[in-house]
Amino acid sequence: MDKAKPFSPDEVANIADASRRMRVTVDAFNQAMNAEDFDTGREIAEFVLGDEMPNRLFKIGFQWHCLNWLTNYYRNSYVQSEEDSPEADAALRHLLNTAWKYKWVVPKLPYDTTVSREEIEQANQAMRQLYDDFQCSRESVEKALTEQSILMGDVAAAREHFALWQAAEADDLSDCPACEQDSLVQYYHFIGDYAQVLSCAEPILSGELSCAEVPHITYQYVVDALIRTGRPEQAEELLEEAFALITESDEDNVHLLPPLILAASQLGRLDWAEDWLDEYSDDIFATISNNDLPYFDYITCIVPLKDDALENAQQVAQELDQRNGNSYYQDKLTLLFQKTMLH
């Protein structure tokens, strides 16, 4: 068959409209599959997932589709290669790199309401199987499932996977110490242990533990914990520090801004919230609008400034909760804005 049309990652990344970016990329991938042009398919799938950092420009459901396809592609390449050959070594190396990316995708599957609970469980099982095939520890798997349970608002599941994560041994596929510590902060924030949030965040805020994503991803939980424990001055000081670091960093971290913008409103700094939204709203929307949960966070941070945004937030919350089988996000809106919600 003819090869698919050449795919240009740079051109796709520069498409500002998120929906069009998705359509162009999905069409290109499907064309490659129909043409049996698996080299182009591999190139597209790798781009959709990201290289050294996760690519946040696509629906997480599509990223899972690409990750699952890549896993099978590299497995087949390995099986079809001569034992101990350079081709076999290359396929195994690519497969191990793909196993690492399960930690990017599987925890975030709840972002996308088009991914059903059954599909999420299938992905979870695929991760377990791949890590077992490599004879890896279940540490990364249970950490991923803890984070996934948090995003689904499932306290019982989060506690269960957290215990298994903490009991497992770390290995070469485990995250760096800073990311491990951040996930502790996230877990304790989810279960409402705000004293533990502040305690676990200390080595991150002091600079003892850091990486490309930490402390950036940690700030929102610490700021909220300070607000909830009656320390608004400290919360405001840390919020200002967080916003400066995130917006001045080389990495594209605008997806982290909505919870901080909401915190500004909660602290009575509506001037900050309004200024930050005016400056970064378009960039945030372009990055997150393909995924429902980040979009929910974005809409929620607008509500204190625009009351009519609440109805939109309620609709997204209902869709998330319907898939998750609970009322977690609707309850979150109720607590934030004291509005009666229909579950």
* Chain mean position to CA 26: 20
Q: Residue 188, CB half-sphere, CA atoms under 13 Å: how many?
A: 19
Rounded to the nearest 5°, which phi and psi values hold at 206? -75, -15
Q: What is the mean pLDDT of the chain?
A: 95
Find the mean pLDDT for residues 177-205.
99
pLDDT for the residue 2: 62
CB atoms within 10 A of CB 234: 15
CB atoms within 10 A of CB 140: 25
Distance CA 286, CA 175 (A): 28
Report residue 251's pLDDT band, with 50, 70 and 90 as the boundaries: low
pLDDT for the residue 57: 92
Helix (H, G, I), strand (E, B) or coil at 118: helix
Query: Do residues 321 and 327 touch, judged by C-beta distance below 8 A?
Result: yes
Task: Find, among 216, 214, 206, 210, the residue nearest to 257 by Cα.
Answer: 216
The string of pLDDT tens digits covering residues 270-293 is 999 999 999 999 999 999 999 999
Tell me how far CA of residue 125 lies from CA of 69, 94, 120, 128, 176, in angstroms: 15, 20, 9, 5, 24
Q: Give 27's contacts (C-beta < 8 A, 6+ positions apart).
A: none
Find the mean pLDDT for residues 133-156.
98
* The two three-digit tokens of residue 33, written as one number: 């599959």
What is the residue-wise DSSP string for 15-36? ---HHHHHHHHHHHHHHHHHTT
**Considering the chain, what percentage of its residues have pLDDT values greater than 90?**
93
CB atoms within 10 A of CB 230: 8
pLDDT for the residue 117: 98
pLDDT for the residue 340: 38
Q: Give 23's contacts (C-beta < 8 A, 6+ positions apart).
A: none
Find the mean pLDDT for residues 262-275.
98
Q: Give 37's contacts (C-beta < 8 A, 6+ positions apart).
A: 1, 2, 3, 4, 31
Residue 4 has pLDDT above 50, yes or no: yes
pLDDT for the residue 343: 37
Query: Do residues 296 and 316 touch, judged by C-beta distance below 8 A?
Result: yes
Q: Give 288's contacts (C-beta < 8 A, 6+ positions apart).
A: 56, 255, 258, 294, 295, 297, 298
Query: Do residues 131 and 173 touch, judged by C-beta distance below 8 A?
Result: yes
Q: What share of the chain is helix, strand, coil (3-state, %, to 5)?
A: 70, 0, 30
Report residue 342's pLDDT band, with 50, 70 and 90 as the boundaries: very low
The string of pLDDT tens digits covering residues 22-39 is 999 999 999 999 999 999
Residue 252 has pLDDT above 90, yes or no: no
The string of pLDDT tens digits covering residues 309-324 is 999 999 999 999 999 9
Task: Find, among 236, 229, 156, the residue nearest to 193 by Cα.
Answer: 229
Report residue 16's pLDDT band, with 50, 70 and 90 as the boundaries: confident
Residue 245 has pLDDT above 70, yes or no: yes
Q: Give 6's contacts (C-beta < 8 A, 6+ positions apart).
A: 40
pLDDT for the residue 249: 80
**Considering the chain, what percentage of its residues have pLDDT values greater than 70?**
97
Distance CA 183, CA 74 (A): 30
Query: Do residues 293 and 314 touch, judged by C-beta distance below 8 A?
Result: no
Q: What is the DSSP letter of 3?
A: P
Domain ranges, ordered by start, for the chain? 176-248, 252-343
Residue 175 has pLDDT above 60, yes or no: yes
Find the mean pLDDT for residues 231-237.
98
pLDDT for the residue 145: 99
Q: Which of 147-151, 285-289, 302-306 has the lowest mean pLDDT?
A: 285-289
Residue 1 has pLDDT above 80, yes or no: no
Q: Give 62's contacts (C-beta < 8 A, 6+ positions apart).
A: 22, 25, 26, 48
84: phi > 0 → left, psi -120 to 50 → alpha, else beta; which?
A: left
Report residue 250's pLDDT band, with 50, 70 and 90 as the boundaries: low
The string of pLDDT tens digits covering residues 57-95 is 999 999 999 999 999 999 999 999 999 999 999 999 999
Find the mean pLDDT for residues 239-245.
97
